[in-house]
Amino acid sequence: MLRKYSNYRTFKDNLQLGILTSFSAGMVNVMSVILFFAFTSNVTGHYAILAQEISKGNWFQAAIVFVWISLFMAGSFTSNLFVINGKNRRYLAHLIPMVFEVICLLCVALYLQYYYQDTLKETEFLIAILLYSMGLQNGLTASISNFAVKTTHLTGLTTDLGITFSMLTKREFREDLETVRKAKLLISILCSYLSGGILAGLLYSIIQVKTFYIVCVVLTIVMLYDYYKLAIFKLAQRKQPYIKRDLLKRRRRERKPSLY
């Protein structure tokens, strides 16, 4: 899921990454709405709010919203910085932003569980951390998948879905594997985001803020999946170096690079 980059990613890689990360983004967004009355996985609404607060002359609120938006951008910036500077150790470079994200979410969960006093300053600060973590995730998934997978907000996705559906009204596109795969990927991300949100809402009524730990578990699965695959690959190479290398080379030659 995380190991491969850009056009070398297969449809399956993008699908797995899209499903798991959008599921966690859906959970985080619903949790932040329940707890803080603010969206943290998307910033479109925040831009509208920023404009509204400026027009009302509420400078304090406008400043807060501006910092939130900047932190989402800073998250994407950090992710891509690791991706473009880690070409030699690709898995590690793709892993670090996700580790940062999990650390952010864990900090929020622990703070909420043990220290949260319900003050406005705390609320604003925790929203800021969540926006940064979602920026990290969105930046990572978008940059490693060549912008095919964006998992934290659905505005672009819904637009793409509308366009793809309209394309599918023509037979030539229905027979085009890329278009069909794109539709499958977008539908999967959409459903996964929604499922994450619903599950978070249900879980919150049972385990409250501990729901954030579930999000961390989902993201840890994403991280460990590739580690597990790499470990198996290394083990196989050690046992049957020539056979495995040959097999992998043949597979690589057969595989057509795909955007979706």
Partner 1 sequence: MTVVRLFLSVLFALLLFSGFIILNKESPEKDLIGQWEEVSWEYEKVNHDGTLIDFQINDGQQEEIRKNLLIHKSEIWSFFSDHTLDLKTIEGTSEKVVWNLKGRGHILELEHEGKRVEDYQIQYLSHDSMIIHFNFDLQVRGIVKMTFKRKMKEEYAQKI
- 160 lies in the binding site for partner 1 (CB under 8 A): no
- 216 lies in the binding site for partner 1 (CB under 8 A): no
Least distance from C-beta 119 to partner 1, angstroms? 7
- 206 lies in the binding site for partner 1 (CB under 8 A): no
CA distance 124 to 126: 6
Contact 130, 28 (CB under 8 A): yes
Q: Tell me the per-residue interface mask from 139 to 158 with partner 1, x by CB under 8 A, - otherwise.
A: --------------------
- 131 lies in the binding site for partner 1 (CB under 8 A): no
CA distance 168 to 140: 29
CA distance 191 to 159: 15
Least distance from C-beta 230 to partner 1, angstroms? 37
CA distance 133 to 105: 7
Is 56 or 89 the residue whose CB approaches partner 1 more closely? 56
Is 46 or 94 the residue whose CB approaches partner 1 more closely? 46
Q: Name which position in 115, 118, 172, 253 contacts partner 1 (CB under 8 A).
A: 118
Q: Tell me the per-residue interface mask from 56 to 85 with partner 1, x by CB under 8 A, - otherwise.
A: x--xxxxxxxxx--x---------------
**Six-digit token string for 161:** 């879905």
- 119 lies in the binding site for partner 1 (CB under 8 A): yes
Contact 80, 143 (CB under 8 A): yes
Encode burial over 58-81: b for 16+ CB neighbours within 10 A, e otherwise. Answer: eeebbebbeebbbbbebbbebbbe
Contact 36, 52 (CB under 8 A): no
Is 1 or 128 the residue whose CB approaches partner 1 more closely? 128
Least distance from C-beta 73 to partner 1, angstroms? 8
- 111 lies in the binding site for partner 1 (CB under 8 A): no
Handedness of CA 201, 24, 216, 111 (dihedral sign): negative
Query: Would you tell me which residues interact with partner 1 (CB under 8 A)?
Result: 36-38, 49, 53, 56, 59-67, 70, 118-121, 123-124, 127
